[in-house]
Structure 1
Amino acid sequence: MAILEVHSLKKIYTTRFAGNQIQALSDVSFSVKQGEYIAIMGESGSGKTTLLNILAALDKPTSGMVLLNGKDITGIPDREMSAFRRDNLGFVFQDFNLLDTFNLMDNILLPLVLSGTPYQEMRTRLLPIAAKLGINDLLNKFPYEVSGGQKQRAAVARALITKPQLILADEPTGALDSRSTDELLSLFNEINQGGQTILMVTHSTKAASHAGRVLFIKDGTVFHQLYKGESTTEEMYQKISNALTILTTGGAKK
């Protein structure tokens, strides 16, 4: 069953001063099944960030539809958009987006506070997630007191605590060292194996090699895709590297 369906997305921006039009997305269509783990790759300017912003309901397409469990999110009124994102989507960002004036526990619970969730339910949700992510002993610490990897674990906990239909990750390993990157990718694998649907935008071949499918964006459209299938992570890494070479040298897609 498809949890996310993207149909013929087009996005055209008009520059403020010259009035020139820039086509960021030309015709993007794909679907995501419940429980899939998908990576989106492409060169800078390929349109992948624009695509992520539309999927996150942070921007609206010029034309096309995005269906989340059958609901077209491009038609949600602005006054309802924040609540929709909070209740249906989880976000993991490169720079963590944690509030330095809140400890990790308050950062994680913030989406539930904003939705008016009773305190006892917040605690009931928090404890197993914190235990699973190995941050039980860090909940009373502030973001500036913990490492980058620990901040990202808190950010993942915040994304999971609302029980989202879809987790959107934007370069989640970009600010992490190699050890923290390995830990986060292992964590994403575990979360996905538990049934969570994940869609990740990344420049990292290593990060993408952990996904079950990789979509390559070029010139505002889906240029190619790879399925991991029975391939090992190392084999998937090589497949992605080969595809990126074709993507950047202008060769034909395979």
Structure 2
Amino acid sequence: MTLLEVKNLKKVYTTRFGGNHVQALTDVSFSVEDGEYVAIMGESGSGKTTLLNILAALDKPTSGEVLLNGKNIVSISEKEISAFRRQNLGFVFQDFNLLDTFSLQDNIFLPLVLSRTSYSEMSNRLRPLSENLRIQDILTKFPYEVSGGQKQRTAVARALITNPKLVLADEPTGALDSRSSDDLLQIFSKINEAGQTILMVTHSTKAASHASRVLFIKDGAVFHQIYKGSLSNEAMYQKISDTLNIIATGGGRIE
């Protein structure tokens, strides 16, 4: 079943006095199936961050549609958008976005508190999550007291505790050392295997090699895509690297 449909997205930014126009997205169309794990890659300035912001309902396109479970998020009113994000989307950011004045547990609970979920329900949801993410023994600590890997696992718990339809990850391994990055990528694979749909924007070839499909954005449009199929992570890594080299050297569309 198709969970996310992106249709003919275009985004043009206008400078303050209207003198210049910058076209960040020209014509982006793709879909994501329920339970799929998709990575989006592209050079800086290719439009992938703009695309992620639109998918997260943080920005609106100049034209086009974004359908999540059949609902066009582009047309949702500003009054309803925050509740829509909490109910449907989970977010994992490069810089964790944890509140230092909140314990790890309270950071995880925050989206449910905003939704007025009961404490007993929050606790019931947290227990298996914290065990699976190996943070059950540090929930009373504060973000400045734990490692980067533990912060990111906390951020993953916060993203998952609302049972989102779609997890959006923005460079999730960008602030982590290699060991913590490997750990997080294993976690992402496991939660995807359990049925969670993930869409990840990344510069990391290694991170993208764990996805079941990689979309490449170039000049504001989808340039190419690779399906993993039965490929190993190593073989997928090589295919991604080859495609990035073609993009970097100005090659044409890949067959």
Q: Offset at 1:225?
A: 0.3
Partner of 1:26: 26
Structure 2 distance, partners of 1:11, 1:84, is 22
Secondary structure of 1:172's counterpart equals coil
Query: 1:205-244 residue pairs with structure 2 within 5 A?
Result: 205-244=205-244
**Superposed CA offset, 1:89-113 (max 9, x none):** 0000000000000000000000000
User: Unmatched 5+ residue regions in structure 2?
Assistant: none
Q: Offset at 1:252?
A: 1.8
Secondary structure of 1:239's counterpart equals helix
Matched, 1:66 2:59: no
Structure 2 distance, partners of 1:19, 1:117, is 48
Partner of 1:174: 174
Q: Which runs of 4+ in 1 moved over 2 A?
A: none
Q: Offset at 1:168?
A: 0.1
Secondary structure of 1:243's counterpart equals helix
Q: Offset at 1:18?
A: 5.8
Structure 1 distance, partners of 2:251, 2:19, is 33
Q: Give the TM-score taking structure 1 as reference length.
A: 0.99
Structure 1 distance, partners of 2:7, 2:247, is 23
Q: Offset at 1:253?
A: 2.4
Structure 1 distance, partners of 2:75, 2:48, is 21
**Superposed CA offset, 1:199-247 (max 9, x none):** 0000000000000000000000000000000000000000000000011
Partner of 1:15: 15
Matched, 1:117 2:117: yes
User: Unmatched 5+ residue regions in structure 1?
Assistant: none
Matched, 1:90 2:93: no
Partner of 1:6: 6
Structure 1 distance, partners of 2:241, 2:119, is 47
Structure 1 distance, partners of 2:81, 2:242, is 39
**Which letter does structure 1 place at the counterpart of 2:7?**
H
Structure 2 distance, partners of 1:7, 1:15, is 25
Q: How many residues align?
A: 254
**Which letter does structure 2 place at the counterpart of 1:200?**
M
Structure 1 distance, partners of 2:74, 2:234, is 38
Structure 2 distance, partners of 1:19, 1:231, is 49
Structure 1 distance, partners of 2:15, 2:222, is 24
Structure 2 distance, partners of 1:215, 1:16, is 32
Structure 2 distance, partners of 1:127, 1:112, is 14
Structure 2 distance, partners of 1:26, 1:252, is 17
**Superposed CA offset, 1:7-40 (max 9, x none):** 0000000011462000000000000000000000
Partner of 1:184: 184
Structure 1 distance, partners of 2:44, 2:187, is 27
Structure 2 distance, partners of 1:69, 1:86, is 15
Q: Offset at 1:117?
A: 0.3
Secondary structure of 1:137's counterpart equals coil
**Which letter does structure 2 place at the counterpart of 1:147?**
S
Partner of 1:165: 165
Query: 1:99-118 residue pairs with structure 2 within 5 A?
Result: 99-118=99-118
Aligned-pair Cα RMSD in Å: 0.6
**Superposed CA offset, 1:110-146 (max 9, x none):** 0000000011000000010000000000100000000
Structure 2 distance, partners of 1:130, 1:12, is 42
Secondary structure of 1:138's counterpart equals coil
